[in-house]
Amino acid sequence: MSLKKCAALLLLIGVITARHTAEASECDFPNKTSSNLYQMSISPEVLYNDTVYTVNITGNSNESVTVLLQALSNNTAAGTWSLNGSSICIGGPLLNYTFDANTSLIANWTSSPSSSIPDSVDLIVSIRNGSVSYKLSKTLHAGSASAASSIQPYSMFLALIETLSLLVITSKLL
């Protein structure tokens, strides 16, 4: 493949990635304080691999706020969120939401399907209302090894096939 084609491909990948990644200032929630204005509950409360967790955030304010949902393990994004925000920050989506007495923001977070789950994952909800930011967080700790399911041989086979396919494609591009 010519140098022009490689450069064009890399540029295209960069444009696609940049479109879906928020600027650092959007993801910055300074002056985080705890408050009784917002509450968070998570179910289940124990960390297992490939499990869907329901995260329920309620608020007493009647204003539109910016919400950042994050799932971090050792400051690295973990799992996937069901909500798509206007932007993506490290660990999850950024979205606008209006809380009132009758509504709550409900999101599903799915832990990684790996057989070796981390010891813990921090689920963090940051809420920005003007210049004031609030932080809600809960740490999920890993359950017993016997309760966590292991990777199935079929999944390992698929991962191997995908890796080999990528190697073949990459070698043809070079």
pTM for this structure?
Answer: 0.66
Tokens of 122: 């921090």
Mean model confidence pLDDT for the chain: 75
Q: Distance from first CA to last CA of the chain, Å, rounded?
A: 6
Higher pLDDT, 4 or 122: 122
**Average pLDDT value for residue range 156-160:** 51
Judge whether 149 and 140 are in contact, CB under 8 Å.
Answer: no
**Average pLDDT value for residue range 33-41:** 81
pLDDT at 133: 87
Arch. (CATH architecture) of 3-173: Sandwich (2.60)
pLDDT at 141: 94
pLDDT at 60: 76
Q: pLDDT digits over 47-71, tens only?
A: 998 999 999 999 877 788 999 999 9
How sure is the predictor about 169, in pLDDT bands with cuts at 50, 70 and 90? low
Query: How many CB atoms within 10 Å of residue 107?
Result: 20
The 3-state DSSP composition of the chain as helix, strand, coil percent (nearest 5) reads 25, 40, 35
How sure is the predictor about 83, in pLDDT bands with cuts at 50, 70 and 90? confident
- Amino acid (one-letter) located at 108: N
**Average pLDDT value for residue range 2-23:** 46
* In the chain, where the domains are located: 3-173
The percentage of the chain sitting over the pLDDT mark of 90, rounded to a whole number, equals 27
